Amino acid sequence: MNSREAERAPSALTPPPDAIPPVRHPEAPAPGELLGAHYDHCFGCGGGQPHGLHLQARAGDGVSITAEFTVQSAHQGAPGLAHGGVLATALDETLGSLNWLLRTIAVTGRLETDFVRPVPVGTVLHLQAEVTAVAGRKIYSTAVGRTGGPDGPVAVRAQALFIEVMVDHFIDNGRPDEIKAAMADPDQIRRVRAFEVNP
């Protein structure tokens, strides 16, 4: 661990004293509205990934999200049980969907996950996430996943730090073929605009 990583490690998920409460963007989707995929080939939410999670997220009140994901046999780690990395992906995707409510583009910097109960294949995981604080480009958030219904027992939970980026983050770093295809797709451009405060 270099000195910069060591600096971040233990307290990186605790908002600094100058953090402020999150503000729901006035043009954010209404509570209850289905958000749709941010990218059709996203492993978390896209319809174009046969073995993806196909996670469906809805806007909640304030800066919160609810989402559902059904564990498929392609998501196993142990026989008949969801892979932990897949569950972390479901949490990451749900937390990432909070971007729609802030109308910012942000990527996961840090994600800490607690696996509380095993999750069998066929389970519908009911996820809830909210932004707890914002400090400059840093967005602090938490999520839980429950089984057996939205009020069922907690199976997984996460704390995360997302970092706001410009759309250039994707254009500069993505593989050129996929970027070219995304930029040629008017639906994709519309979706990206929905994340940007100043399109």
Ligand X SMILES: CCCCC/C=C\C/C=C\C/C=C\C/C=C\CCCC(=O)SCCNC(=O)CCNC(=O)[C@H](O)C(C)(C)COP(=O)(O)OP(=O)(O)OC[C@H]1O[C@@H](n2cnc3c(N)ncnc32)[C@H](O)[C@@H]1OP(=O)(O)O
How far apart are CB 151 and ligand X at their closest, in Å? 25
Give whichever of 120 and 165 is closer to ligand X, judged by the CB atom: 165
- The strand ranges marked E within the chain are 56-59, 64-70, 106-115, 124-135, 138-146, 154-164
Query: Rounded to a whole number, what is the distance in angstroms from the first to the last CA of the chain?
Result: 38
For ligand X, the binding residue among 55, 67, 105, 156 (CB under 6 A) is 105
Give whichever of 38 and 126 is closer to ligand X, judged by the CB atom: 38
* Contact call for residues 143 and 149 (beta carbons, < 8 A): no
- Distance between CA atoms of residues 26 and 6, nearest Å: 38
Among 113-121, 125-133, 144-152, 165-173, which window interacts with ligand X (CB under 6 A)? 165-173
For ligand X, the binding residue among 69, 93, 126, 145 (CB under 6 A) is 93
* Contact call for residues 8 and 133 (beta carbons, < 8 A): no
How far apart are CB 12 and ligand X at their closest, in Å? 4
116 binds ligand X (CB under 6 A): no
